[in-house]
Amino acid sequence: MTFALVLITAAVSAQTPSKRPVQRVHVTLGAEDTYQPESFRLRRNIRAYITFLRTSDRNCGEEILIPKYGIHRNLPVNKPVTVWFVPRESGSFAFSCGMDMIRGTIIVD
């Protein structure tokens, strides 16, 4: 009985975040070694989902880093990778490839 109650509680709380507003951004990395868009704006305190799509292996973007939020993921070609975080502070910070050669900027209002 206790086990069943725990499962129900988990299901309810898992649904709660989907009712909150979220913001979504798609960033593409093609053969030309630039993120498109290279910079974008987010609103503070709203969960942000950022989907990266690397469409070519003719760049050095095998990894995507957003150091401020501790994000470090591999970016296989043609497989969208979505990361999320809640931007808590206004200002700007970087995202980049694993070698910090391809760079972009996130601006939080």
Q: How far is the CB of 55 from Cu ion (least distance, A)?
A: 15
Q: Which residue has the tokens 């988990």?
A: 10
Which among 59, 66, 62, 74 is positioned nearest to 94, based on CA atoms?
Answer: 66
Please state the closest distance from residue 82 (CB atom) to Cu ion, in A.
20
Identify which of residues 106 and 108 has a Cβ nearer to Cu ion in the complex.
Answer: 106
**Under the rule (CB under 5 A), what is the footprint of Cu ion?**
60, 97, 99, 101
Helix (H, G, I), strand (E, B) or coil at 80: coil
Nearer to Cu ion, 29 or 108 (CB): 29
Question: What is d(CA 15, CA 20) in angstroms, rounded to the nearest whole number?
Answer: 10
CB closer to Cu ion, 23 vs 63: 63
C-alpha count within 13 angstroms, C-beta hemisphere, residue 49 = 11
